[in-house]
Amino acid sequence: MTREPSGCQSGPVNSVSRVLVIIRHAKAEPSAATDHERRLTDAGRADAGEAGDWLAGFGVVPDRVLVSSAARTRDTWESLAEGAAYAVEPVFDDSLYAAGPETALDLLRETSDEVTTLLVIGHNPTMAFLAQMLEDGEGDAGASSAMAEGFPTTAVAVLAHDGSWAELEMSGATLRAFHVGRG
């Protein structure tokens, strides 16, 4: 006869620490045929490469990358991935291009729980608002102060979240680091 284990029983614990990296695209040219087609400047490419190098040095290795479909965010990913030596294939998402913070958060919540590190590249003001609304105020004080001063091009916010992506809420992540890529 098989005995059931005694004592306290519970379901699976979803307290896996996840890393969320929120990035504003690097410096782009001021105009193109359409806003969606604006490319990075040479300085923007250098800045994105530097940010990638910084992320790699910080130990961030994404297993999923979500990038707005705009040319400048694609270029940012390309230079950042080269600087960090990332080999992951990004997902280019048209809806992230015009998404507000709530819509962007909904996109993050759709992430599979198999993903432990998610990197997102988008546009302001959405990326700044998203990082600020997710921050719980319990993280690195210097990073929080720097992020509060602004979220310029090539800004990188690294946050940690305990729980599933679907459970990600306002004030639900801890800011671990903030960096502005400058090549």
Q: Is the predicted pLDDT of residue 49 greater than 80, yes or no? A: yes
Cis peptide before 12 (omega within 30 of 0): no
Q: What mean pLDDT is predicted for residues 16-34?
A: 95
CA–centroid distance for 88 within its chain: 14
Looking at residue 83, its pLDDT comes to 98
Q: Is the predicted pLDDT of residue 14 greater than 50, yes or no? A: no
Place of tokens 């999923």: 64
> What does the pLDDT look like over 102-157, one tens digit per residue?
999 999 999 999 999 999 999 999 999 999 999 999 999 999 999 999 999 999 99
What does the buried/exposed string (b/e) look like for 97-132 if buried means 16 or more CB atoms within 10 Å of the residue's CB?
Answer: bebebeebbebbeebeeebebbbbbbbeebbbbbbb
Q: Is the predicted pLDDT of residue 46 greater than 60, yes or no? A: yes
Q: Which residues contact 86 (CB under 8 A, 6 or more apart)?
A: 52, 56, 61, 62, 65, 80
157 and 175 Cβ atoms separated by less than 8 Å: yes
pTM score, whole prediction: 0.91
Q: Is the predicted pLDDT of residue 10 greater than 70, yes or no? A: no
* Bridge partners of residue 68, in order along the sequence: 93
Task: Please state, in angstroms and rounded to a whole number, the distance separating the CA atoms of residues 33 and 59.
Answer: 38
User: Which is nearest to 112 in space by CA: 16, 180, 12, 182?
Assistant: 16
Residue 7 pLDDT class (50, 70, 90 cuts): very low
> What does the pLDDT look like over 139-154, one tens digit per residue?
999 999 999 999 999 9
Q: What mean pLDDT is predicted for residues 85-101?
A: 97
- Residue at 62: amino acid letter: P
CA–centroid distance for 118 within its chain: 6
Query: What domains sit in the chain, N to C, each tagged with a CATH number?
Result: 17-180 (3.40.50.1240)
Q: Is the predicted pLDDT of residue 65 greater than 50, yes or no? A: yes
Task: Please state, in angstroms and rounded to a whole number, the distance separating the CA atoms of residues 148 and 137.
Answer: 11
